């Protein structure tokens, strides 16, 4: 019940295209859903995050869509650029005392020039 399932495992998109990464969760106690971007050899960096009382959040080219009833959320990267090539992790924060993150398995995005 603590898992966050992420798909696809890898994604190849042409420059200017839309990248879509999906995540699903089971635990309804999760209360915060961030997306992290990770470049090789670096730590995860927060990209954008959403709370379950909001259905969509947009920051620049990045949009999170959240479907509370389906327990799914997705990241959309509009006008994808080669510099967006990285691994993307969805995550969910628990409601326990420490509020640690449970990560999805990651999506390796490659944007072709």
Partner 1 sequence: EPEVTQTPSHQVTQMGQEVILRCVPISNHLYFYWYRQILGQKVEFLVSFYNNEISEKSEIFDDQFSVERPDGSNFTLKIRSTKLEDSAMYFCASSEASAGVYTIYFGEGSWLTVV
Binding partner 1 by CB under 8 A: which of 29, 45, 78, 95? 45
According to DSSP, the β-strands at 33-38 and 19-25 are: unpaired
* Residue nearer to partner 1 on the CB measure, 74 or 89: 89
* Residue nearer to partner 1 on the CB measure, 69 or 97: 97
Binding partner 1 by CB under 8 A: which of 21, 35, 62, 106? 106
Is 27 an interacting residue with respect to partner 1 (CB under 8 A)?
no
- Name beta bridge partners: 56: 65
What's the rounded Cα separation, in Å, for the pair 97 and 47? 24
Nearest to 53 by CA among 75, 30, 21, 78: 30
Contacts with partner 1 in 65-94 (CB under 8 A)?
89, 91, 93
What's the rounded Cα separation, in Å, for the pair 16 and 77? 10
Binding partner 1 by CB under 8 A: which of 25, 44, 75, 77? 44
Two tokens, residue 104: 């999805």
Residues binding partner 1 (CB under 8 A): 32, 34, 36, 41-46, 49, 51, 89, 91, 93, 96-106
């Amino acid at each position: 019940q603590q898992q966050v399932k992420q798909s696809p495992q890898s994604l190849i998109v042409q420059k200017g295209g839309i990248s879509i990464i999906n995540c699903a969760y089971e635990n309804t106690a999760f209360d915060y859903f961030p997306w992290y971007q990770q470049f090789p050899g670096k730590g995860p960096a927060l990209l954008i995050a959403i709370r379950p009382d909001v259905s969509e959040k947009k920051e620049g080219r990045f949009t999170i869509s959240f479907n509370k009833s389906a327990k799914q959320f997705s990241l959309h990267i509009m006008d994808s650029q080669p510099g967006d090539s990285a691994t993307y992790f969805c995550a969910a924060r628990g409601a326990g005392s420490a509020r640690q993150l449970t990560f999805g398995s990651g999506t390796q995005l490659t944007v072709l020039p």
